[in-house]
A and B are shown apart, each in its own frame.
Chain A
Amino acid sequence: MVSPADSPLPPLFANWFAGRGWSLRWHQAQLLTRASARRSALLIAPTGAGKTLAGFLPTLVELSGPERNEGLHTLYISPLKALAVDIARNLEEPVAEMGLPLRIEARTGDTPAARRQRQMRQPPQILLTTPEQVALMIANPEARKVFSGLRQIIVDELHALAPGKRGDLLALGLARLRLLAPQAIAFGLSATVAEPDNLRRWLVDQAGGPAMADLVEVPRSLAAPADLRLLETEERLPWAGHSARHAMAEIYSEIGRHRLTLVFVNTRMQAEFVFQALWGLNEENRRIALHHGSLDVGQRRKVEAAMAAGGLDAVVCTSTLDLGIDWGDVDLVINVGAPKGASRLLQRIGRANHRLDQPSKAYLVPSNRFEVLECHAAIEAARAGEQDAVTSREGALDVLAQHCLGMTVAEPVHPEALYREVTAAAPYAGLEREAFDRVIRFATDGGYALRAYDRFAKIRRDGEGRLRVANARIAQAYRMNVGTIVESTMLKVHLGSAKGGALRYGRLLGEIEEYFAEGLTAGDTFVFAGEVLRFEGIVEDRVVTTRAHGKDPMIPSYNGGKFPLSTHLAARVRSMLADPSAWAGLPEQVATWLALQQGKSALPGPEDLLVETFPRGGRYYLAAFPFEGRLAHQTLGMLLTRRLERASLQPLGFVANDYAIAIWMLRDPSIRIAAEPEFLGRLWDPDMLGDDLEDWLNESALMKRSFRACAVIAGLIERRFPGMEKKSRAVTMSTDLIFDVLRKHEPDHVLLKAARADAATGLMDLRRLSDLLMRIRGRIVHHDLAQVSPLSVPILLEIGKEPVYGEARDQAIADEAARLLDEMGEAFGTA
């Protein structure tokens, strides 16, 4: 607390605070001080600490003074457009109550074009917006005028924004804003993270070498400890799977004991399943709703409104409710499945009792045995106040290409000046001039070695050597395609009918990923929008379904979740496993399971790698327990399989989850290991990240996926272009073809480089894989077993539920064709 005498608050504000029974908090005072000293700052505070008000107070104070009231003063940027709109509403109240003569407006993709144009002509004093809109505004020829008087930039949820491509785009946008408005300072608002320095650098100009924004961190003692524990369940804990079916009765009874419960799950499919299961138990007619990103917007808004009005007892939701928005009186958060990271868990717990002075209450519901360990580790981490780190990243080249084109749309710019400008943004501080030039060449005419497209160049040089956009059509196409969010292709889901073979569609229920719809055949049932639906077929781009009354869904698609286990939690799980004295807090079934493993094989040590080999069903298995997350394990599986193939052990397949990996083969690896003691060490040698990786990568579906995103972001493919809406279903096909042609004819192209970098960090977790391989050198513990070990059971249960990649897909088609032809025999003759 700050005493009235030292308060940096003017009387108007002090009275307003007093009128609400509030006093100025320490971090709010800190930001006021930084603003008067014109210093940028990173504010780290737990959810519920009044971060947003802290960010805006200096603006409001400054704008309450007599000297200035015209023009854009503060630009607030949030990752969620709903958040921008929400905050605009929340600010209206203090502004009205204090009688401040201010215009506050939100600007998102949903803002009508006429209003957006007006916002450029007559900007409000406070504008709340998204990274994409910032990109659009700075590419406007009016940008210099609009932003000339800007004094304050506020970036909300910085911990969520900075680590991705949207963060790259916004960092470049900030670099431009600093040029247009050198007087402006930036505040970043962030949830608690380990190693905040990366975010501090992100906020400020790096042109003069590494610089950091001030750090304002709310001391931990101000945050109340959470009532955080595992939800105890009666039924047997499953070995594998992600449905958490065993815990539904307990979850349901907790809902009855609380005012409003949020049930968080990791995927949409889990949400559907849990929702379905809870309604199956709902004898007391509790008001339980469903909220996830694939549902129709209207339906989601209804749930949000009902929640705010106190008309619900529970909401089953995915991370769509993760970020910042205040949803009223939540008094219990239940997290189903493993939280995957300590920070994510804290974020979700923060939903309960959105106030600092009351303890938040949160229960974790692991859906299988390994998740028990992981949840336990997450709880320990949360109690110790430990967080996952936000690592620094190298800015993506596809984003840079988009930004550079945008800057030539704004006004002519010298390449030298543009290079200086972009390297002032932290993600691009290390960008070589040569790489920058390649990106400019790419943005100009595709940057191909074969200079075939000079005459179609999108960027031209004027008499002074400045870059400028070639024509108005290119400028318009740029504006229509701005942004870095490349969604997976979605198909609309409709209720409909299938009478006499003709499909008709009716009411819209929401959207599902195309790949999921593609996997369905007529008659399959699945849960969506809280109902069991029967898949009838796809008409145009719409999935037609009918109600499948009272049936259990046949498609159990519970993918573990999008996020791999964090490095930090993985280390905790490993050390917990290795230390039987830490098992006391675990459910008895789990402790028994671990004890059994210790007897039959061994437990992985905190720094070791446990490798088991055993025969089963005529095949030989190799199981290992690196705990490095699903992505790194999948990559590892691909690479190890290639090596085992070369060692003539005839591998047939592998399976990977967040904790373990298992490979099965026709020849016995334990014989080889016994004969050649160095065999295992060589198998796991870090040199697998060399040529093997390169070969595999080039064939991999992961590369095609990241290439598609890069091609869209970099502007090679336009999602929307003037006069036409390109269907993204068509895009999927053509970027794969482009990838094939490019790889064959110009493998060093800058876009392939960008795709490779993306795949390496995002989809394959190469950094973690390489850390693992270095860590376990000389530390592999091998146990040759007569049968499967207790620890290996869960991973073996996942066999057959894994996606198949690469060449194996062609084989799957050939096998299916052979099977069908055999089945039909002579009835289906050959010509």
Chain B
Amino acid sequence: MRQAAQRNDARRPVPARILLAGHEVLLLPAGAAYLPDERLLVVADLHLGKGLAYASGGQMLPPYDSLDTMRRLLVLVHHWQPERLVLLGDSIHRQRLMEASLAPVAAELEELARSVKLVWITGNHDPALSGLPGEVAGEIELPGALRLRHEPAEDGHPEIVGHLHPAARLPTRAGRQRRRCFVVAEPRLLLPAFGALTGALCVSDPAIAGLFPASRSRVYLMLGEGLAELPMTAVS
């Protein structure tokens, strides 16, 4: 754990290891989680087609966001060789523009579907997914009653969720720094957004703080190389 913070090997990003509902979970510096016992990779909030959705409203964001997101995802899949890839909801930024959003990444999507079994969890941006390679589900459950779903639920089940796009701010000698992060408080893991153009919400926001008791929650800030683990009380 410490070595992640001390960056003793700058070239090879070191994942952080946590335990969640009896599963070993690796938090990857790229912003995804890997469960070795299930050979399952999970990412949240790709927001494919966000640039396109903005362009349709007159703000011409670069049309490369979907491509960028998919390529980073492919790198992860090739590296970890998972059996299943769970996309934790809000994979498509605007469901109405789904076809146009996926068109520029058709080849990448095909390659992804060839490499791994895809599980698309529906989110609030894409509540009715269809026509995608793989399986579509509202949520899935792993042994130990661990649920993988888009939004956190207060039903007491262990869960891995997305939706909230967490980021944390930390006062340092370089001033207060803000980075995307994972948030963990057994039995809940909140993933950062994986999409290239996705904004973020500070963990001090009631939407996140309300789910994670400060005294026993931890955050893992995404640095360019590696993660920095911190108690929730140290960040805002």
Give the Cβ gap from B3 to chain A, nearest Cβ, in Å: 10
In the complex, whether A519 has a CB less than 8 A from a CB of chain B is yes
User: A810 contacts B62, CB within 8 Å?
Assistant: no
A residues in contact with B2, CB < 8 Å: 818, 821, 830
B residues in contact with A721, CB < 8 Å: 57-59
- Which residues of A, 805-831, contact B by the 8 Å Cβ criterion? 807-818, 820-821, 824, 828, 830-831
User: A738 contacts B61, CB within 8 Å?
Assistant: yes
In the complex, whether B156 has a CB less than 8 A from a CB of chain A is no
In the complex, whether A456 has a CB less than 8 A from a CB of chain B is yes
How far is it, in angstroms, between the C-alpha of A159 and the C-alpha of B63 when the chains are bound?
Answer: 41
In the complex, whether A473 has a CB less than 8 A from a CB of chain B is yes
How far is it, in angstroms, between the C-alpha of A746 and the C-alpha of B64 when the chains are bound?
Answer: 9
The count of residues in chain A whose C-beta lies closer than 8 Å to any C-beta of chain B is 55
User: A812 contacts B172, CB within 8 Å?
Assistant: yes
Given contacts A734-B199, A744-B68, A813-B228, whether A718 and B5 have CB atoms under 8 Å apart is no
User: A812 contacts B174, CB within 8 Å?
Assistant: yes
A451 closest partner in B (C-beta): B63
User: A738 contacts B175, CB within 8 Å?
Assistant: no
A residues in contact with B1, CB < 8 Å: 821, 830-831
In the complex, whether A548 has a CB less than 8 A from a CB of chain B is no
How far is it, in angstroms, between the C-alpha of A816 and the C-alpha of B231 when the chains are bound?
Answer: 12
User: B175 contacts A474, CB within 8 Å?
Assistant: no
User: B175 contacts A804, CB within 8 Å?
Assistant: yes
Given contacts A812-B172, A812-B174, whether A452 and B52 have CB atoms under 8 Å apart is yes
User: B199 contacts A807, CB within 8 Å?
Assistant: no
How far is it, in angstroms, between the C-alpha of A446 and the C-alpha of B171 when the chains are bound?
Answer: 37
User: B175 contacts A456, CB within 8 Å?
Assistant: no
Q: Write the A419-461 contact mask toward B (1 if CB under 8 angstroms, else 0).
A: 0000000000000000000000010011110101100101000
B residues in contact with A445, CB < 8 Å: 55, 60
B residues in contact with A821, CB < 8 Å: 1-2, 5, 229-230
User: A452 contacts B104, CB within 8 Å?
Assistant: yes
User: B59 contacts A453, CB within 8 Å?
Assistant: no
A residues in contact with B172, CB < 8 Å: 809, 812-813, 815-816
How far is it, in angstroms, between the C-alpha of A824 and the C-alpha of B236 when the chains are bound?
Answer: 18
Give the Cβ gap from B174 to chain A, nearest Cβ, in Å: 3
How far is it, in angstroms, between the C-alpha of A446 and the C-alpha of B221 when the chains are bound?
Answer: 33
- Which residues of B, 46-98, contact A by the 8 Å Cβ criterion? 51-52, 55-65, 67-68
Given contacts A519-B171, A814-B223, whether A745 and B67 have CB atoms under 8 Å apart is yes
Most chain A CB neighbours (cut-off 10 Å) among B176, B179, B224: B176
B18 closest partner in A (C-beta): A831
User: A453 contacts B63, CB within 8 Å?
Assistant: yes
B residues in contact with A809, CB < 8 Å: 172, 174-175, 177
In the complex, whether B234 has a CB less than 8 A from a CB of chain A is yes
User: B170 contacts A813, CB within 8 Å?
Assistant: yes
In the complex, whether A730 has a CB less than 8 A from a CB of chain B is yes
User: A745 contacts B6, CB within 8 Å?
Assistant: no
In the complex, whether B196 has a CB less than 8 A from a CB of chain A is yes
In the complex, whether A216 has a CB less than 8 A from a CB of chain B is no
User: B177 contacts A813, CB within 8 Å?
Assistant: yes
Q: How large is the interface on B (under 10, 10 to 19, 20 to 34, 35 or more residues)?
A: 35 or more
In the complex, whether A96 has a CB less than 8 A from a CB of chain B is no
In the complex, whether A733 has a CB less than 8 A from a CB of chain B is yes
In the complex, whether A518 has a CB less than 8 A from a CB of chain B is yes
A residues in contact with B6, CB < 8 Å: 814, 818
User: B223 contacts A810, CB within 8 Å?
Assistant: yes
- Which residues of B, 207-236, contact A by the 8 Å Cβ criterion? 221, 223-226, 228-231, 234, 236
In the complex, whether B191 has a CB less than 8 A from a CB of chain A is no
Give the Cβ gap from A687 to chain B, nearest Cβ, in Å: 28
Most chain B CB neighbours (cut-off 10 Å) among A442, A518, A718: A518
A714 closest partner in B (C-beta): B60
Q: Write the A253-294 contact mask toward B (1 if CB under 8 angstroms, else 0).
A: 000000000000000000000000000000000000000000
How far is it, in angstroms, between the C-alpha of A538 and the C-alpha of B179 when the chains are bound?
Answer: 18
- Which residues of B, 14-70, contact A by the 8 Å Cβ criterion? 17-19, 51-52, 55-65, 67-68
A residues in contact with B199, CB < 8 Å: 730, 733-734, 737
Most chain A CB neighbours (cut-off 10 Å) among B64, B174, B200, B230: B174
How far is it, in angstroms, between the C-alpha of A808 and the C-alpha of B199 when the chains are bound?
Answer: 23
User: B229 contacts A446, CB within 8 Å?
Assistant: no
In the complex, whether A741 has a CB less than 8 A from a CB of chain B is yes
In the complex, whether B7 has a CB less than 8 A from a CB of chain A is yes
User: B17 contacts A831, CB within 8 Å?
Assistant: yes
Given contacts A737-B196, A804-B173, A810-B224, whether A718 and B59 have CB atoms under 8 Å apart is yes
In the complex, whether B125 has a CB less than 8 A from a CB of chain A is no
User: B64 contacts A812, CB within 8 Å?
Assistant: no
Give the Cβ gap from A683 to chain B, nearest Cβ, in Å: 26
Most chain A CB neighbours (cut-off 10 Å) among B64, B179, B197, B198: B64
B residues in contact with A816, CB < 8 Å: 170-173, 228
- Which residues of A, 449-483, contact B by the 8 Å Cβ criterion? 450, 452-453, 456, 458, 473-474, 477
B residues in contact with A230, CB < 8 Å: none
In the complex, whether B169 has a CB less than 8 A from a CB of chain A is yes
A residues in contact with B58, CB < 8 Å: 456, 458, 473-474, 477, 718, 721
A residues in contact with B234, CB < 8 Å: 820
Q: Write the A212-226 contact mask toward B (1 if CB under 8 angstroms, else 0).
A: 000000000000000
User: A807 contacts B231, CB within 8 Å?
Assistant: no
Q: Write the A740-751 contact mask toward B (1 if CB under 8 angstroms, else 0).
A: 111011100100
A residues in contact with B64, CB < 8 Å: 448, 450, 741-742, 744-746
Give the Cβ gap from B98 to chain A, nearest Cβ, in Å: 15
Give the Cβ gap from A287 to chain B, nearest Cβ, in Å: 38
In the complex, whether A323 has a CB less than 8 A from a CB of chain B is no
Give the Cβ gap from A471 to chain B, nearest Cβ, in Å: 9
User: B200 contacts A733, CB within 8 Å?
Assistant: yes
In the complex, whether A593 has a CB less than 8 A from a CB of chain B is no
Identify 5 new A-B residue pairs, CB closer than 8 A, beyond the known A473-B58, A737-B196: A742-B62, A803-B174, A804-B174, A808-B174, A812-B173
A-B contact pairs, 9 of them (CB 8 A): A445-B60, A453-B52, A456-B60, A716-B60, A737-B199, A738-B61, A741-B68, A745-B62, A821-B2
Interface residues of B (CB under 8 A from A): 1-2, 5-7, 17-19, 51-52, 55-65, 67-68, 104, 169-179, 184, 196-200, 221, 223-226, 228-231, 234, 236
Nearest 10 interchain pairs by C-beta: A446-B60, A804-B174, A452-B63, A812-B174, A745-B64, A817-B228, A812-B172, A518-B176, A830-B1, A817-B5
